[in-house]
Structures are given as structure tokens and as C-alpha cells.
Amino acid sequence: MLTGLLTPSSGKVMIDGLIPYESRIENNKKIGAVFGQKTQLWWDLPVIESFRLIKKLYEIPEGEYRQNLKNFTQILDLEDLLEKQVKNLSLGQKMRCEIALTFLHNPKIVYLDEPTIGLDVLVKERIRQFIKDINKQKNTTVILTTHDLKDIEDVCNRIILLDKGKIIYDGPKDAFKEQYGKEMMASFKISHKKVELIAEIPNLEFNVIEEDDKSLKIQFSHEKINIMQIMQKLSNYCNIDDMNTSQPELEDILKQIYKGEKVC
């Protein structure tokens, strides 16, 4: 709908001063879009043919085209792929070409719909790097939807969280983490345990998530208690052999939000 492909049944969309489903062509010249499961490449032809067509269609000046092509080829490692037929490429190879193609005409806004879906770690890494580079060099706005939270963690500055069609969060990524990620996790290796913490000790200032004879996992908030105090408390009940604290990952926070444990 943002790209103008679909017409909204109610309401209005405005992108950079244009209504995308009305001024299609004007809008199309300014944007680029990758849909994870679709392709803009010509299936039967070598990749480079699709690139040349885009050059013609968007009237990209020769110099700019060359420079972009060289630049993209390098970052995304396309050297060996350009002369191959699209149908012979693997998913990851195709996606790399696809993304290069989308950025070829220096669009102002790029929509990436699950660009890393089903790709291996190395390709994902490359694509993230590419997006970051282009964003820095050319100031392209990139709107990314994804199921892979590493994508967000790596690439994004601003997060918009949707649940059942409603915006439930809209703000910078770091603020998001601060707001919902105050809770820290800590895990301990213990021995000589004297009591069952969950069953026998009420009023602990932290939550025990898992416990058995050898290990302990807890969650706590910095506002209430710090790690030294926790260790002091724990040492009353057992010996601590080793410990390890971690900030919650975006993934953990989101899981909680969508499970309804946290209310925005």
C-alpha cells in the first residue's frame, strides 16, 4: 500500500508529498521495493540484462550507472553472478542481485519486505552491511519488515511495532530497549544448595526463572536491586561457582510483548 500497489479501502497514504496510488509513475521513480518472495529479475535472461533494462527505464546516466554497479558488485559480491541466467541462481544469489537492482537508480525510499527470508547467515550479513552502507552514503530511507530480529538489531534506528493492525510502539530502537529492557538476566552455577528458592523463600527482590541443584536463572531490575546484593543474598543459601549476566535481546522483549506479558 505504501508503494502504491494496493489502493486503501479507507484512509489516505502520503509518501514524500505524493499519494502513491494516484501519482504512480512519479512515485515509482523515487522508490524501490523488494518483496521477499517476488522477483523483478527476468527469469530466463542473464542478470545483467535486467540491470541494463532498469538503466534504460529509469534513465540512469551512464556514469552513475557504472559507479553504482561497480560499488554494488563489490559490496554484494556479484562479480560471478551477473552473466548467469536468473533461473540458475540460488535464493541467496538472487536476493543479492535483487537488492542491487532495487538500489540502482538511487531511490529516495526503499521498501524491503523480508529481504533476508530463508537466507544463510553470510548472505544476511552481507545484505545488512549493504543496507547500512547505502543508508550512510546516499541517505536512502529504508523501510524494512522482517521476521528476523537480528535484522532489526543490526540495521534499524527506529522501530514501529504492529499488533493486530494497531501501532503499539513507534520510536527509536535504543529507547525501545531502555523502556522495555530494564530487566536483566543472570544465571549462576551453584553447588551445595540448602533450600529450594522458589518454594521456601518468599519476598525475594528478583524473579527466579529456573532452578535446580546445579544452576539458577534469575531476572531482576536495576531499579530494585543490584547484582552484588543478589549475590550476597544467594550466598546465604548456596555456594556460587560462576555467574553471568546479560541484557535482554530484542527477541526476548518482543516475545513478552506479543505474549501479552507487557503492556505498551
Residues that bind other proteins (CB under 8 A): 3-7, 21, 24-25, 28-29, 31, 33, 35-40, 42, 44-45, 49, 52-53, 56-58, 85, 113-114
Q: Look at the block and give the residue holding cell 550512510.
A: 136
In terms of Cα–Cα distance, which of 169, 167, 188 is closest to 180? 169
Least distance in Å: CB of 58 to other proteins?
Answer: 5
- By the 10 Å C-beta count (0-12 exposed, 13-18 middle, 19+ buried), 68 is classed as buried
In terms of Cα–Cα distance, which of 84, 102, 111, 116 is closest to 4? 111
Q: How far apart are CA 197 and CA 217, in angstroms?
A: 11
Least distance in Å: CB of 18 to other proteins?
Answer: 14
Instruction: Please identify, using beta-carbon distances, which residue of 105 and 234 lies nearer to other proteins.
Output: 105
Q: How far apart are CA 118 and CA 149, in angstroms?
A: 13
Instruction: Please identify, using beta-carbon distances, which residue of 4 and 248 lies nearer to other proteins.
Output: 4
Instruction: Please identify, using beta-carbon distances, which residue of 30 and 150 lies nearer to other proteins.
Output: 30
Least distance in Å: CB of 34 to other proteins?
Answer: 10
3-state SS assignment for residue 124: helix
Least distance in Å: CB of 54 to other proteins?
Answer: 9
Instruction: Please identify, using beta-carbon distances, which residue of 8 and 172 lies nearer to other proteins.
Output: 8
Instruction: Please identify, using beta-carbon distances, which residue of 52 and 262 lies nearer to other proteins.
Output: 52
Least distance in Å: CB of 25 to other proteins?
Answer: 6
CA dist 123 to 101, 247, 258, Å? 16, 27, 29
